[in-house]
Amino acid sequence: MIASVTSATILGARGYSVQVEVHVGRGLPGFSMLGLPDEACREARDRVRAAVLSSGLNWPDQKITVNLAPPHHRKTGSGLDLPIALGVLMATEQLAAECLAEICVIGELGLDGSIRSVPGVAPMVGVHPEAEWIVPADGVREARLVTSGRVRSTDSLRELVDALAGIGGWGTVPPSAPHESAVDLGPDLADVRGQPVARFALEVAAAGGHHLLFIGPPGSGKTMLAERLPYLLPDLPHDLSLETTMVQSAAGVRLPPGGLVRRPPFRAPHHTSTAPALVGGGAHYLRPGEISIAHGGVLFLDEMGQFAPAVIDCLREALETGSISISRAQHHVTLPARFQLVGATNPCPCGEGLRPGVCRCDERSRRRYLGRLSGPILDRFDLRVAVERSQVGELMATEPSESSATVAKRVERARNLAFERSGGTNASIPQSEIDAFAPLSTAAVTRLRAELDAGHLTGRGLHRVRRTARTIADLEPTPEEIIDERHVEIALSLRTAIGVERQ
């Protein structure tokens, strides 16, 4: 007998439809699987057999052939366990074929017949957005985000067979929790004592979407500051939220209870991360990397100078285009990767922050250290801020600093202003429209010209300063359309030149 079940597998952050065909017929008892299954997928054979037997169902003593169509396409993961099991049951007439008509299935099986969750439910279900789906219980909410059809689940294979036959009930999913407020229980900016410039830079970064680099010694609070950035950002807009959910689901990141990622993600990969871990990849699976998981949110690279230079340079494409293309001999995928980069680095090996007269590093080791951050990457940072260790007085201050909620309000207002003006953040104003969106006062022009003449600013740097100045002007209590000298001056001072002396 032959049976066919519709399912899906995943490549990169996209699902692909897979037709699971099962043939049970005469021949030496055995199980063979066709259609380029990977190792996890091939092991389905033993899981499925054990699950079927522990569910009190029969395993045929016949030749079982499973074909995963389309056959040229590599299938990954354990999500095909359940469709294969159902296919076997249908082919051996333990389950009526019409029960599964027009229904798609994904799920992993345990040896005891329980149905377990798999990563990437949302992108896989998105392959047939109008079909009815059976997914693991954990994935029901995220599946409902992307399909208009019915989504159901049970906890085990036995319950599923009974439910499909109409003699048992379906599992129930509690109604999704109400959406949490924008600034949830994350770390608060009020915990950061002192650091007025770094705090302001964080606010500007949040308001304008600018990439931000903290330069300072260990213990100066670079990580503490960076962690607070996502809580200054407003909720993700719905389409971006959906994209982020898809990528995170595909990467197997634990999704929030509602299934939908509404808050900007914050990712902080360690500096030993490899290039595939950061940008995505792997031989067959092409798992999304950290930069894609951070889509719509913040990617924080602590000790940026310690990352392998080749790994850091991989970020350039993503910073430029907001997506990353990964090609392997067999596949090619494009993953979304529009993130805000926050870097933190020691300025030199001794970590004394290049403080004149205190830093013990010689010129060469300093240059080698900062040289690890290539010029093109350093240039992408609109904001480069030197931070130093807080002094005792600040640490012991009882007066609380401004809270994230207060700053987030200003940030949201400035972001709305920018969005009305250019349809995006200030950091993404295209060069051709910078004159229209960031007009300068005469004094501001004079100031910038002086800076260009002195050779402190390059052409590219000029545009970056103008974008930052635009955000600073937008953050004023009463924002003006024309950018003033003062805004330019602040923008310049938030762009510390490293390794160069400014006079």
Partner 1 sequence: MTVRVPSHAEVVAAALASLSAMSPTRLRQALSEREPEGVWSDISVGRANIRQLFSHEKFRQLQYEVHRFDIDSTRAQLIAYSIRVVTCISDDFPAALREDGDKPPVLFLRGDISILQHRMVAIVGTRRATASGRATATELAEQLAAAGIVVVSGLALGVDTAAHRGAMRCGSTAAVVGCGLDRCYPARHQSVFDEISERHLVISEWPPGTPPAPFRFPMRNRLISAFSEIVVVVESGDTGGSLITAREALERGRTVMAVPGSPRVATSSGTNALIRDGAAPVTSVGDVFDELGLSTSRQPVPQSTHRVQGMAVEIVHELSQESLTLNQLVERMSTTIGEVVVVVSELLRHQIITESNGWFELSRSMLVSGKECQ
CB atoms within 10 A of CB 432: 7
Total residues at interface with partner 1 (CB under 8 A): 37
Q: Considering the complex, what minimum distance in angstroms separates the CB of residue 203 from partner 1?
A: 11
Torsion, CA 350, CA 352, CA 354, CA 360, rounded to 10: -50
Q: Considering the complex, what minimum distance in angstroms separates the CB of residue 278 from partner 1?
A: 27
Bridging pattern class, strands 332-336 and 151-152: unpaired
Indicate whether 399 belongs to the interface with partner 1 (CB under 8 A).
no
Alpha-carbon distance of 477 to 479, in angstroms, equals: 6
Cα atoms in the 13 Å half-sphere on the side-chain side of 11? 19
Paired tokens of 255: 């999704």
Q: Residues 355, 431, 435, 449: which binds partner 1 (CB under 8 A)?
A: 355
Cα Rg, the chain, nearest whole Å: 27
Cα atoms in the 13 Å half-sphere on the side-chain side of 429? 29
Q: Which residues of 17-48 are buried (b: 16+ CB within 10 A; e: fewer)?
A: bbbbbbbbeeeeeebebebbbbebbeebbebb
Indicate whether 342 belongs to the interface with partner 1 (CB under 8 A).
no
Nearest to 271, CA basis, from 306, 299, 232: 306
Q: Which stretch binds partner 1 (CB under 8 A): 141-149, 181-189, 268-276, 351-359?
A: 351-359
Sign of CA dihedral 269, 271, 275, 279: positive
Local structure of 343: helix, strand or coil: strand
Q: Residues 112, 362, 433, 481: which binds partner 1 (CB under 8 A)?
A: 362
Contacts (CB under 8 A) with partner 1, residues 423-452: 450
Q: Residues 97, 137, 253, 359: which binds partner 1 (CB under 8 A)?
A: 359
Indicate whether 394 belongs to the interface with partner 1 (CB under 8 A).
yes
State which residue, 387 or 418, has the beta carbon closest to partner 1: 387
Q: Considering the complex, what minimum distance in angstroms separates the CB of residue 415 from partner 1?
A: 20
Q: Residues 169, 174, 357, 459: which binds partner 1 (CB under 8 A)?
A: 357
Indicate whether 351 belongs to the interface with partner 1 (CB under 8 A).
no
Alpha-carbon distance of 302 to 305, in angstroms, equals: 8
Indicate whether 502 belongs to the interface with partner 1 (CB under 8 A).
yes
Q: Residues 194, 280, 296, 343: which binds partner 1 (CB under 8 A)?
A: 194
Indicate whether 347 belongs to the interface with partner 1 (CB under 8 A).
yes
Indicate whether 373 belongs to the interface with partner 1 (CB under 8 A).
no
Indicate whether 329 belongs to the interface with partner 1 (CB under 8 A).
no
Indicate whether 169 belongs to the interface with partner 1 (CB under 8 A).
no
Cis amide linkage into residue 187, ω under 30° from 0: no
Contacts (CB under 8 A) with partner 1, residues 479-498: 486, 489-490, 492-493, 496-498
Indicate whether 250 belongs to the interface with partner 1 (CB under 8 A).
no
Q: Considering the complex, what minimum distance in angstroms separates the CB of residue 365 from partner 1?
A: 12
Bridging pattern class, strands 151-152 and 212-215: unpaired
State which residue, 393 or 423, has the beta carbon closest to partner 1: 393
Q: What angle do CA 430, 343, 366 make, to 5 degrees?
A: 115
Q: Which stretch binds partner 1 (CB under 8 A): 41-49, 223-231, 293-301, 357-365?
A: 357-365
**Identity of the residue numbered 119:** P
Indicate whether 386 belongs to the interface with partner 1 (CB under 8 A).
yes
Q: Residues 182, 200, 282, 351: which binds partner 1 (CB under 8 A)?
A: 200
State which residue, 372 or 486, has the beta carbon closest to partner 1: 486
- Listed in sequence order, the DSSP H helices in 5-152 are 39-42, 44-54, 81-91, 121-125, 140-146
Alpha-carbon distance of 107 to 119, in angstroms, equals: 10
Q: What is the DSSP track for 458-476? A: -HHHHHHHHHHHHHHHHTS
Q: Residues 7, 78, 92, 195: which binds partner 1 (CB under 8 A)?
A: 195
Q: Considering the complex, what minimum distance in angstroms separates the CB of residue 313 from partner 1?
A: 23
Indicate whether 217 belongs to the interface with partner 1 (CB under 8 A).
no
Q: Considering the complex, what minimum distance in angstroms separates the CB of residue 40 from partner 1?
A: 50
Indicate whether 382 belongs to the interface with partner 1 (CB under 8 A).
no
State which residue, 104 or 386, has the beta carbon closest to partner 1: 386
Indicate whether 453 belongs to the interface with partner 1 (CB under 8 A).
no
Q: Residues 197, 224, 253, 462: which binds partner 1 (CB under 8 A)?
A: 197
State which residue, 115 or 473, has the beta carbon closest to partner 1: 473
Say if CB 204 and CB 245 are below 8 A apart.
no
Q: 15 pairs with which residues across the strands? A: 10
Alpha-carbon distance of 135 to 121, in angstroms, equals: 8
Say if CB 202 and CB 212 are below 8 A apart.
yes
Indicate whether 196 belongs to the interface with partner 1 (CB under 8 A).
yes
Q: Which stretch binds partner 1 (CB under 8 A): 139-147, 184-192, 348-356, 433-441?
A: 348-356
Neighbouring residues of 242: CB distance < 8 A, sequence distance ≥ 6 = 145, 146, 260
Indicate whether 396 belongs to the interface with partner 1 (CB under 8 A).
no
Q: Residues 166, 175, 178, 356: which binds partner 1 (CB under 8 A)?
A: 356
Give the chain's length.
Answer: 503
Residues that bind partner 1 (CB under 8 A): 194-198, 200, 215, 347, 353-360, 362-363, 385-388, 394, 450, 486, 489-490, 492-493, 496-503
